[in-house]
Amino acid sequence: MRFDILTVHPELLESPFNYSIIKRAVEKGIAEIGILNIRDFSKDKHKKTDDYAFGGGAGMVMTIQPIADAVEHLLEQRNYDEIIYLTPDGIQFNQGIANNLSTKRNLMLICGHYKGIDQRIRDKYVSMEISIGDYVLTGGELAAAVVVDSVVRIIPGAISDETSALSDSFQDNLLSAPVYSRPSEFKGMKVPEILLSGNTAAIEKWRMEESLRRTKERRPDLL
Ligand code: 6GU
């Protein structure tokens, strides 16, 4: 699966993909991540990528030319299943959308800044607009990192223990049960007895009950 991300701050996207599962998925060839600097496509003599908004008002708008040329450059190389614009006015991202995107071959992600990008880019090229929640970020880069991370980790083969991604919180609309590791007692704090019992059926039942209890308590909206 391939991701191409358009941004004016490629540095912001360097480290998120260079660790752990995502790094290994890239090394294994399961995921390919291309990062394109929108500024490289600017025909302005100062490589400008933003300008004042027509009609006035505070804040700069990312102009159409550099983004359109960057998008066209990518479209010459391959077809994209979705061209995604990261924006607070998009549909709210969730596990279901991540699962759906993980079945695609090529995704393009456009990161905006300032007051956003020229609407004509959205009208002509964008097939999907995603927000990662009801709060405002400086730009779409951190949101793009969230989307790519959540999609890559569920591509078959990305996690060595195949069942692990399936037992995540949200995969069955339930929060995960609490987890413990050694030692079984630390400064008087004990691990629940059942987890040390070796009784797999009883442990499975306990985990399901804890999952339900947590979900009822913290996210009744999921039930
Ligand atoms: Cl996708 N972009 C920005 N700039 N802010 C956000 C967002 C995206 N999702 C939530 N807030």
Give the residue, by CA position, lying nearest to ligand 1 atom 8: 87
Span 110-119, mean pLDDT?
A: 94
Is residue 164 predicted with pLDDT exceeding 90? no
Nearest ligand 1 atom to the CA of 130 is 1
CA distance 177 to 208: 7
Banded model confidence at residue 168, pLDDT cuts 50, 70, 90: confident
| Pocket-testing residue among 94, 137, 141, ligand 1, by greatest number of atoms within 8 A of Cβ | 137
All structural domains of the chain, each given as residue ranges with its CATH number in brackets, are: 2-152 (3.40.1280.10), 172-222 (1.10.1270.20)
CA distance 88 to 86: 7
* Full-model pTM: 0.94
Is residue 42 predicted with pLDDT exceeding 70? yes
CA distance 112 to 165: 30
Q: What's the Cα-to-Cα distance from 5 to each of 20, 83, 132, 134, rounded to whole Å? A: 20, 10, 16, 22
Any residues with Cβ below 6 Å from ligand 1, and which? Answer: 86-88, 130-133, 135-137, 139-140, 143
Instruction: Give 71-99 pLDDT, tens digit per residue.
Output: 999 999 999 999 999 999 999 999 999 99
